[in-house]
Amino acid sequence: MLTKLSIKNYALIDHLKVEFSDGLTIITGETGAGKSILLGGLSLVLGKRADLNSLKNTEEKCVIEAEFAVKAYQLEAFFKEEDLDYEPLTIVRREILPSGKSRAFVNDTPVRLDALSKLGDKLIDVHSQHQTLQLTDNSFQFQVIDAVANNKANIKTYHEKLSQYHEVKRKLQKSINFQQEADKEHDYNVFLLKELQEAKLVPGILTELEATYEKLNNVEEIREKLALANQLINEEQIGVVTTLNELKSTMQKLSGYGKQFENMSQRVQSVFLEIDDIQSEILSEEESLDADPALLEETATKLQQIYNLQKKHSVLEITELIQLQQTLEEQVAVTENIEADIKALQLKVLAFEEELDVLALKINKERLRIVPQLTNYLQDSLADLGMQNARFNIQISPTDSYFYNGKDELQFLFSANKGTAFGELKKVASGGELSRIMLSIKAILAQYENLPTIMFDEIDTGVSGDVSNKMGEIMKAMSTTMQVFAITHLPQVAAKGNVHFKVFKEDVNGVTTTQIKELTYNERVDEIAEMLSGRNVTEAAITHAKELLL
């Protein structure tokens, strides 16, 4: 509930601070005194957009602060979702700077205007004649019916299943779209993959093939060089082996004359063994070296195949071609398996539809069960409010469509007079009739839902006598379970309040400002008497005022 409100430098308000309690709070005042200004300031702190016209003094900032007791509203999840600090006593502050910029804070944490507006909807329901248009909204009509039908748990479960259902349907459609596109590319991808697979690519294959090609393509020159190398090593007169033999013999003779000569002799021996090994390899290569035109042609073909693939796919490395091959294998596999995936998703869709159908039927049965009860309550309530001939025809029809709250379509039909046909509320009900219907509906909702603070803004305009008295009784009854504000011009309603505030204007140093004060009992008597008889208050009016306050 709203516990405190502070407004500074807003419209005709210089600085105003007021505390509120639970129950029914009455706010009265002459036309133009500033009741709408008070509401305007409150709407700003609840997230309404602001402009420089809001500032009383355009050189100073406007600050509006409201304190709410929110423990009963179960808003912890909302605060967490919006990344706000939760406090049982939550302070909301709105600042409008002289530059025109606006800032908002919840418990001193900066907050976006859209988040503030969402929070405001959960804290205060400002109800005026023009806002009765909400009554003609189909979703609000369902809200009323489902509240009375105690459908909250069913609808919550249904909504969770519906979200999962839509997610599976999105996946199914995505898979179908993928299949349609993949089918177009599948044959081409298979062709590309086949080309790469036929190349039998492995890391290092290009280097190996190029070496083989160079060897086979230069057999004669290699044979000639190997023969020359062999001759240089083994030539009888000047061959390396002959010379090394002489060197080895000489160093062996010197090895007895000291350690350094022994080391040198061992090193010569190592060189001799290395040369001997090289000679063996040269002989082996020379013996195995044969011209192989078929192998040369095969190697050249493989090389050209790889070069063509590199050019075709604009890559330089074999590893890139191998990676491309793996990607194509995955794409082809997905395309070939997508049919099975689609069938599995289709089965999931059918399973969710079966679950949703069961839940929707439960919701439908509960709605149909309470329609007669709700209809009778509304008609009886409106009869007390001067609409004795008001009739409702609430029609709930099941469909094949999955809506956010079930599978039903709703027609909330109304007739205000005998002999007139039923029609849609927005077409056949006047503004005053809608106000009384909405009051009745809010009253029944207060019995089934934990509604936020509600503020009735002159919804009793145009009514009087017994009807106004009944309106006051309804508001009084609502205030036993929630905080209710009523801005009114009717003494019968004003007398029902637990607390009574008066909004008035006063001139201070030649400047008109709006003020608000809580009335004492005697001040309430005077205020209600004036509402009854005008400025010239009579003794009869005072007596009547006291009787109303009993």
Which has more pLDDT, 162 or 252?
162
Both tokens of 244, joined, read 């090394």
Max CA pair span of the chain: 154
Highest mean pLDDT among 69-78, 263-272, 285-294, 391-400: 391-400
Strands 484-487 and 24-28: parallel
Three-state secondary structure call for residue 534: coil
- Counting every residue written for the chain, the total comes to 550
Report pLDDT for 178: 80
Whole-number percent of the chain with pLDDT over 70: 96
Contact 129, 439 (CB under 8 A): no
Distances (CA, A) of 315 to 202, 250, 312: 15, 60, 8
Return the minimum-mean-pLDDT range out of 68-77, 228-237, 261-270, 453-462: 228-237
Report pLDDT for 219: 74
Three-state secondary structure call for residue 514: strand
Contact 484, 23 (CB under 8 A): yes
Which has more pLDDT, 93 or 231?
93
The one-character DSSP state at 49 is -
Spatial strand order in the sheet of 423-424: 391-403, 406-415, 423-424
Contact 422, 413 (CB under 8 A): yes
Q: Which residues pair with 409 in a beta bridge?
A: 397
Neighbours of 92 (CB within 10 A): 21
Q: Is the pLDDT of residue 63 over 70?
A: yes
Report pLDDT for 52: 66
Contact 5, 18 (CB under 8 A): yes
Contact 65, 36 (CB under 8 A): no
Which has more pLDDT, 133 or 225?
225
Q: Is the pLDDT of residue 44 over 80?
A: yes
Q: pTM for this structure?
A: 0.67
SS3 letters across 486-511: EECCCHHHHCCCCEEEEEEEEEECCE
Give dist(CA 346, CA 168) in Å, integer. 9
Return the minimum-mean-pLDDT range out of 67-81, 140-154, 184-198, 396-410: 184-198
Q: Where are the alpha helices (DSSP H) in 53-102?
A: 76-81
HSE of 104, CA atoms in CB hemisphere, 13 A = 22
CA dihedral for 370, 371, 372, 373, sign (positive or negative): positive
Return the minimum-mean-pLDDT range out of 69-73, 238-242, 248-252: 238-242
Report pLDDT for 544: 95
Report pLDDT for 429: 86
- List, in order of start, the domains of the chain with CATH numbers: 2-148+385-519 (3.40.50.300), 176-337 (no CATH)
Per-residue pLDDT tens digits for 185-216 = 666 777 777 888 888 888 888 888 877 777 77
Contacts within 8 Å (CB) and 24+ apart, 296-302: 296/213, 296/216, 296/217, 299/209, 299/212, 299/213, 299/216, 300/213, 302/199, 302/209
Per-residue pLDDT tens digits for 245-298 = 777 888 887 887 778 888 888 888 888 888 888 888 887 777 767 767 787 788
Q: Is the pLDDT of residue 233 over 90?
A: no
End-to-end CA distance of the chain: 26
Give dist(CA 504, CA 29) in Å, integer. 6
Whole-number percent of the chain with pLDDT over 90: 43
Per-residue pLDDT tens digits for 331-369 = 777 666 778 888 999 999 999 999 999 999 999 999 999
Neighbours of 91 (CB within 10 A): 17
Give dist(CA 24, CA 478) in Å, integer. 8
Report pLDDT for 187: 67
Across the chain, mean pLDDT equals 87
Q: Is the pLDDT of residue 330 over 90?
A: no
> Cα 359 from chain centroid?
25
